[in-house]
Structure 1
């Protein structure tokens, strides 16, 4: 290993010392000047050191960012600083690698903001206006604003057409440098020089020769009165003059407006800033070069008096070579997966916007299934829906589904309330909520049918209730003496069998102790049990698939229907024991909604004969017991409805798909396939709860609204001190909001 490092260093020195200069790609005459000054400064200071091989820099002038990428690929230049959108293209489409990121006050991330003249616009009235954007496929001028408009269903995009065409139809006219010739409307407002001679044609290109290029240019376009709205990053308005602050305002997502200084609370989203790219085989050399110039000329550089790396004022420009707001360059490890450089959400957004070209993934809905039984039902759904391509992908648990959707390996899944909270923390958003019971909304609430999904004007979704169930014959058991008993829970993180239960057991028991990790508290509280997805003694009662001995090992305690004690039906099976009469619990924690049906199914499915609702009782919070039909007055708390979650950019696609599914497959009793029935697959609550009457349109609601304040508060207090691997996975996202 050491020999390899020494060899690379020697090659680096010999390449640079032998007259092969480090070649930086520039996009304007002003950048050429700054680059030349950097070269001069290096020459002046480096002979005094041992690393004189770095004194030679060559400044390679390119027409635009994609010309830079081509030059680096063709070994005619070595490195360039690019917007994150172009970094992604450079890596995924052109085989380059990213070696460093610019770090600003907010880290590597920028806020995407929309700016307009005071009193002229709001975010809901953008259709038909003139727009200027800092660059095509750029973070703050294209990716985040378009993702925002698509998620709100403001912008209609049939993925069979180019996205640029949909944007042309949305705005009246635009200047989006770098958009190409496919959509002339999107360059109509640009003012770069037009020429048939390649070197003189600067119209609508990503270089400083286009006056409306970059965030500086997009703001100029607005100030010149050419456009009504400008999409750019917050770094430009951090340095807004007093008159700019008086004349312009930010457009906020909720339809309000705000001062330019309020970009951290009034923005369209957050995404990665610029990065430096090079060829794969040149990463170590580029890394060494960047480290050297930063050590000499960065904000803490030894030779900063001679040359300032992150200042452009001496050259009469802004953001030359690097953003002026850069605090320092963060050098990256080699061969890092691009999703970990730019963030999972951002990469998923780019895929959703078609940055890798059209693919089969764009045209299909990939539904996440968590068991073999769900997969069978999903495949039948796919055969019956006909109008939309549905692909069924399998995961091992609901948390794995959240990971897969966040990583753009799946598109949608129905989650219980606790997992909705986790998914919301991970950046996923609601599409539709399940509605249970004969009357899903109080009469006072007005409902209108928008197509086929019911749209509630006010949130009025009836909850289900968490209940504790015991056999009637076990008369000694009540809610206050469950410690040390055998327990059956629908699954790890389940709203009723894990979250709400904590209030009545480990939450009360642990109140004045320092250990608030309820996952480990449950391990100590119950003697043993089955909580699919957990470990330790809370897996000891689980039985796996209960049929094939060889498969038992892998499916035992799995957080899916592959564990026969999973879910509401599973917890009931666990309470009565397996068909041989072994492996049972003293108490089961489940939901009331299909309890009577599940008790009936125990016999009809051949699991356990002779049980009726009279054989069970509910354990009430006050220590008494009640009949299973008395759940309204004897429960552990209300559970918000299960909700279909997806990435923001795919909301409309999933919503449209569910409209068609529900219209054709929802509740027609004579239909061969039923969306809300699972009995024919040998389980209950597959893909959706069986008690679902219909799906309610919910993309206008936040996950917090659906879950309600008290549920959110409980979830926050629990997850603040209970480790959850899925939340750690989501925290990796480089632009995750600190409030998440």
Structure 2
């Protein structure tokens, strides 16, 4: 009777589970692995109902089935391109389980929301031993290769991100300065340029090669074809593949686990005595002396699943895995039907370590170490920090308003979340020129400047541009247009007297230099020495020119109607920063939209980007583009999209600047920080942080909202004169006699110091 009950239970478990929850989908990445997985499935389904099978149904398996038979899964084998593809499928609930090396497990947990549930054990006599050693191996016939002369060596590696193959040995080489880092956030490129040809599977995936500029020799020793080439599915990938790469003399050195040589030498038919360890302390050692000659202990491989699974599902997976071990591990009843921890049956496919490591003796529950973070441990994470080493510890970014400070702090967290180096820090300046002074004095490193400000920064503070905004056409510039309401039919650029003007800001290319040259060219007034502010005050009944009354630009602070059209209240009114809603090109257009002005000098994309539902801010969301026109220098008016034939000036793009005394290596590090960052944050659609978006309440914070990416300014163009160009600089010089602004370096620096001191005193008193 008891035998009949057990037989009925087995039949139910193995044949009646039809619910989707009842199937565990195991993700495999190789043909041989898929075959082994399907063989295991067949073995499960063909176990004969007999007393032995009944006795080997573990209590957890039986108990879980009694609670909910649909939570005890069957097996289904799902083929992925490589382990990264499998991680993505598990995250998207298209697969459930995969066995991963600890380094891969860290990646899976951090970037694909996966968690460990069971761990491989390689020493059945010590179930608490859940680590193995990372070692470097060479052939004995190559004694000239040691830890101190690896440059140019051909390297066989199990895969990028693996603990024994990548994290531990590379961290050692970097930490001991055997490999020198010149470029931050580019460890693969750094390592590949140090070594000779390599097989580093996974090094060309988008995560490890975001710019597509890793040297091609990173895959020279890989032998896969098609989509498998240089991935975790490559024949030279994994522990077995890396050893094969070494034993066949393709490589000079292999980074492996300590037990790989002993296991794989038998598979490859070679003598393990032909190999020896390269010790981190110098010299060599026998393969068996790994405890004294290693890079450290790496956590064992783990079976992982999605962390979104509920507790009952995870418990069922664990029970299922334990049952598989109870049936198919060495010495268990059905090993002759299927051997779960052996790949010898698939040697004709030249693959080992299929589904599990061949060295595995059993699986244990990870218990309270059920996160990728806790499984890998502190030492592993310290090694990862070494991989992110950057010659510069911090890059200090200067901002000029509360809103910019808030966005900068979000930028700090976003960069940190993606391990971008150097660490970003935000410094608050009192105004643009104070920030210039901080960079000049070495107290800050970078800021973003409009072309007009860049002229001042270059001429009087010695700052240089290193990266330019691109607005979609890769020209490194933009056009300035004069926008007006279509209903205001009689207004042209030649009859602006007593109208109201909206400018992006004093001193700016788009909001000052181009408009003033237009006024003079169209003879709206004939300026005299130092008369420009009075001229504009007389031309327009009122204006909003943010910053127009500030002493750095207008030493007399008059006339007040230059700021009467601005929207902010109190001390924020007419500030030359985002505290003034009408600051910047988008702010100038808002000034026009809200009927605070009749003409707005904006960028060629500003009207289109803030009408027809493209901007969901309250002031813009219901605006129609066909309500506006642009005015041409020949007196005509035309539709806003005809800006190529109707613009009033060309201005170089906004640019990131740094101090001229910075070395080219330092400038490149700053550029690479933002070049890497824009791979993650340039889109205004995905994610919580966007480089080129300022939200609904502000505009053009740090970067211009119209920008789509940053472009590197080549070394020979990192000079304000070369960057701005002869024509634009001439327009600035032409206005200097009329503005009479004191802009000598000493005066500005002194003023910035006073303002900074006052700012600190006020904050201290508050």
Instruction: Provide TM-score, normalisation by structure 2.
Output: 0.43
